[in-house]
Amino acid sequence: MNSVGDSACASCQTPLVHRYLWATGSSVAKIQPGEKVANRYEVIIPNIWLDTQPGLLPDTPEELSKEIESYLRLYQHRLHIPLVYGLADSVANDGDDILLLENVPIDETGNLYPAITDAWEQAQAVRQVYWLWQILQLWTPLSQLGVAGSFLIPDNLRVQGWCVRLLELVETSYDVSLQQLGECWQPWVAAAKTPVVQELNNIVQQMCSEEANLNAIATQLNILLLSSAADLSLTLEVSGATDPGLQQTQNEDTCYPTDTGDQNDSLLPRVSIVCDGIGGHEGGEVASLLAVESLKLQLRALLIEVKEQADILPPDLIQKQLEASLRIVNNVICNCNDEQQREGTQRMGTTLVMAMQLPQSIKTHSENQSQNAHELYLAHVGDSRAYWMTRSYCQLLTIDNDVAGREVRYARSLYRKAQQRPDATALTQALGTKEGEFLRPVIQRFILEEDGILLLCSDGLSDNDWVEHSWRNYAAPVLQGELSLEDAVHKWIELANQKNAQDNISVVLTHCRVSPAPMMSLPPALPSIEIIEAEQQEQEQQSELAPSSQALLDLLVSEPHATDNIQTTAKRQGRRKWWFLLGGLVALLVGGTSIGLVAWWRLNPQIFQQACQRFPQRLQQVCPSHQK
């Protein structure tokens, strides 16, 4: 009843989904544009079909073939790999079903994104290297499934800005070698930009040799990528806020930074965090706040360590360090659950999505020493999300840790069918609900080589695809300088309150700019700090905690500690306080894994009781002596 191209339903104004699919199969070429298949799919060109009834479940196979399983097992790489949508009966009645793929490199108007061969010569040097680096990162997982031959067909490789995307997976009856990939790259490298052409030639020559070593080649390509990116300027601006939502009185979300926080914090503007607490208002709000504060401590330490390193730290090492930090945060919350004897659904936890722009010193092609290699690390657990928005597109960078995704990843169900399960959106991972050894955070590395906005948000905004429907209205004005980042944050929150008012909302935006006109300068250096010092800056920003939750949180941090820094003291007197985490958390940060109220009480009951007596009356209720 609606025309192709309409953005909203003519009768109810619901945003219309234009789901363009890629059709594969021997009979696809026989179908003419304009035909309708299965009274549902409108053929734009033989391989591109539009689903005119996207609200209905597509036909799915009873048994999953090996071809389909390859797509499912690569689900975690959905930034680059399509998803299987469903099947369509062959119009030739030859028994050869047509496989329909979604999440393909097709734009909003039904046109394919350019092939890498067509876009290569117009791309900057850093983007050329970035495209090759992505292919090399995907080489191993695709080789393990026998579909690495997908990279040897130039027209199958499409590019959406920085991102390399495949039209479809191609199986081969033989093992595809690194030498064949090198031979495929040779014509591209011959046309590479001058600053990188010689080094790329050297890399390709190594790939084409019989002694080709994937790890050594990946290391060289990474150094070339970082040095190419470091030739660009980079300025960052970050802003965030959280809101309980129109239908909620308690806010279990926590985000960093907020407009009420310290704008001179050494983590700014490099770090942004969103956590969505679970476990009820007496647990979720504490878990999310504790996760943010303890993670900030460790990121300060990590940034200082990176700054002191003379050598380039490889991505896998940084990813391991971030993963270790998240396990520490997980165990802090997990031990709180154990001490309070929380079981099952009563255990508090939190989702997390975090971004850290990591400055590494590196020599550029122009022989200058740059203090920033433009690396961005993204970590997430749960269903809080990260999006990358430019003037031209919006990309979802994370994959929800939910039951539907688990079924796809284990090759048990197609994505659309898995979404029909009653428990499809139930979380399969969260910080604090299980021991750290069971935590599987996803940590990705990106290179900032174009102007854009990184959006981190809780599901109070992302539910019902409102980011995908509305991103143009909020990203373009910021990128064009017509809307401040702070105002954009609040406009996103207003949208969420209008559309998803049943939940808490957190939004953090980072404007990343590599074009010549900077908005603000990055801080020249990270000041020396003590690892055990934490800033409890979300106190004012958060809605009032429930009494028992506030009591727990207050027991996890100590009284304000004096400092000799006059400037810091003045700030503390104005609007905030510096807190120390108790010995348990400090011990955890240096290698331990346990903290807790009960442990303190048992080990030093006299001092514990003295501390309790100094608390306000409502906080004394949680002391063990009052619980007997």
408 φ, ψ to 5°? Answer: -70, -45
Within 13 Å of residue 375, how many CA atoms lie on the same side as its CB? Answer: 28
Mean pLDDT value of segment 140-144: 97
Whole-number pLDDT of residue 613 = 54
Judged by average pLDDT, the poorest of 95-104, 262-271, 281-290, 531-540 is 531-540
Judged by average pLDDT, the poorest of 12-16, 351-355, 364-368, 526-530 is 526-530
Give residue-wise pLDDT tens across range 492-502.
999 999 998 78
| Pairing mode, strands 362-363 and 349-350 | unpaired
What's the pLDDT band for 90 if we cut at 50, 70, 90?
confident
Domain spans, the chain: 19-63+81-102, 116-230, 235-364+371-513, 533-627
Q: Which helix or strand (DSSP H or E) is residue 363 part of?
A: strand 362-363
> What is the C-alpha to C-alpha distance for residues 286 and 254, in angstroms, rounded to an integer?
9
> What is the C-alpha to C-alpha distance for residues 128 and 196, in angstroms, rounded to an integer?
9
pTM here is 0.84
Residues whose CB falls within 8 Å of the CB of residue 402, separated by 6 or more in sequence, listed in order: 383, 424, 425, 426, 427, 428
Residue with tokens 């999953």: 64
Whole-number pLDDT of residue 93 = 61
Give residue-wise pLDDT tens across range 245-278.
998 889 999 999 998 777 789 999 999 999 999 9
Residue with tokens 């003519």: 10
What's the pLDDT band for 553 if we cut at 50, 70, 90?
low
98 φ, ψ to 5°? Answer: -95, 125
Residue with tokens 């996207």: 54
Mean pLDDT value of segment 389-396: 97
pLDDT surpasses 60 at 589: no
Q: Which helix or strand (DSSP H or E) is residue 396 part of?
A: strand 394-396
Whole-number pLDDT of residue 260 = 78
Whole-number pLDDT of residue 394 = 97
What angle, 0 to 180 degrees and rounded to 10, lies between the N-to-C axes of helices 547-556 and 284-308? 30
Whole-number pLDDT of residue 367 = 79
- The verdict on whether omega for the bond into residue 257 sits within 30 degrees of 0, i.e. cis, is yes
| Strand residues in 176-280 grouped as ranges (E) | 235-243, 253-256, 271-278
Whole-number pLDDT of residue 552 = 53
Residues whose CB falls within 8 Å of the CB of residue 213, separated by 6 or more in sequence, listed in order: 206
Contact indicator for 542, 251 with CB cutoff of 8 Å: yes
Judged by average pLDDT, the poorest of 439-448, 459-468, 526-535 is 526-535
DSSP per-residue string spanning 319-362:
HHHHHHHHHHHHHHHHHHHHHTT--GGGS-EE-EEEEEEE---E
Please give the order of strands across the beta sheet that includes 235-243. 235-243, 505-513, 452-457, 385-389, 394-396
Nearest to 496 by CA among 245, 274, 255: 245
- The verdict on whether omega for the bond into residue 269 sits within 30 degrees of 0, i.e. cis, is yes
**Greatest Cα pair distance in the chain:** 84
Whole-number pLDDT of residue 545 = 52
Whole-number pLDDT of residue 532 = 33
Residue with tokens 């896998």: 316
Residue with tokens 């948000």: 457
Whole-number pLDDT of residue 549 = 52
> What is the C-alpha to C-alpha distance for residues 116 and 127, in angstroms, rounded to an integer?
11
Nearest to 497 by CA among 241, 281, 283, 254: 241
Q: Which helix or strand (DSSP H or E) is residue 27 part of?
A: none
Burial class (CB in 10 A: 0-12, 13-18, 19+), 438: exposed
> What is the C-alpha to C-alpha distance for residues 539 and 290, in angstroms, rounded to an integer?
12
Residues whose CB falls within 8 Å of the CB of residue 465, separated by 6 or more in sequence, listed in order: 15
Between 321 and 6, the more confident residue is 321
Mean pLDDT value of segment 428-454: 95
**235-364+371-513 has which CATH code?**
3.60.40.10
pLDDT surpasses 80 at 412: yes
pLDDT surpasses 90 at 482: yes
Judged by average pLDDT, the poorest of 135-144, 335-344, 417-426, 589-598 is 589-598
> What is the C-alpha to C-alpha distance for residues 549 and 19, in angstroms, rounded to an integer?
45
486 φ, ψ to 5°? Answer: -60, -45
Number of helices followed by number of strands (H, E) in the chain: 21, 23
pLDDT surpasses 50 at 615: no
User: Quick one: tokens of 356?
Assistant: 């850290």
The DSSP code for 427 is B
What's the pLDDT band for 539 if we cut at 50, 70, 90?
very low
Between 293 and 364, the more confident residue is 293
What's the pLDDT band for 89 if we cut at 50, 70, 90?
confident
Judged by average pLDDT, the poorest of 6-20, 53-67, 93-107 is 6-20
Residues whose CB falls within 8 Å of the CB of residue 388, separated by 6 or more in sequence, listed in order: 394, 395, 397, 446, 452, 453, 454, 455
pLDDT surpasses 60 at 535: no
What's the pLDDT band for 517 if we cut at 50, 70, 90?
low
565 φ, ψ to 5°? Answer: -80, 110
> What is the C-alpha to C-alpha distance for residues 138 and 142, in angstroms, rounded to an integer?
6
Whole-number pLDDT of residue 364 = 85
Contact indicator for 30, 91 with CB cutoff of 8 Å: yes
Mean pLDDT value of segment 401-413: 97
555 φ, ψ to 5°? Answer: -75, -15
Mean pLDDT value of segment 507-527: 69
Dihedral over Cα of 100, 104, 108, 112: its sign:
negative
Whole-number pLDDT of residue 133 = 98
pLDDT surpasses 90 at 570: no
Mean pLDDT value of segment 434-442: 93
Contact indicator for 7, 15 with CB cutoff of 8 Å: yes
Give residue-wise pLDDT tens across range 277-316.
998 767 899 999 999 999 999 999 999 999 888 889 999 9
What's the pLDDT band for 581 if we cut at 50, 70, 90?
very low
Whole-number pLDDT of residue 554 = 54
pLDDT surpasses 90 at 110: yes
Whole-number pLDDT of residue 307 = 86
List, in sequence order, the alpha helices (H) in 208-349: 214-230, 284-308, 315-339
Mean confidence (pLDDT) of the chain: 84
Judged by average pLDDT, the poorest of 114-118, 555-559, 572-576 is 572-576
pLDDT surpasses 80 at 624: no
Residues whose CB falls within 8 Å of the CB of residue 361, separated by 6 or more in sequence, listed in order: 307, 310, 369, 370, 371, 373
Whole-number pLDDT of residue 220 = 97
pLDDT surpasses 60 at 596: no
Name the percent of the chain lying above pLDDT 70.
Answer: 80
41: number of Cβ within 10 Å = 23
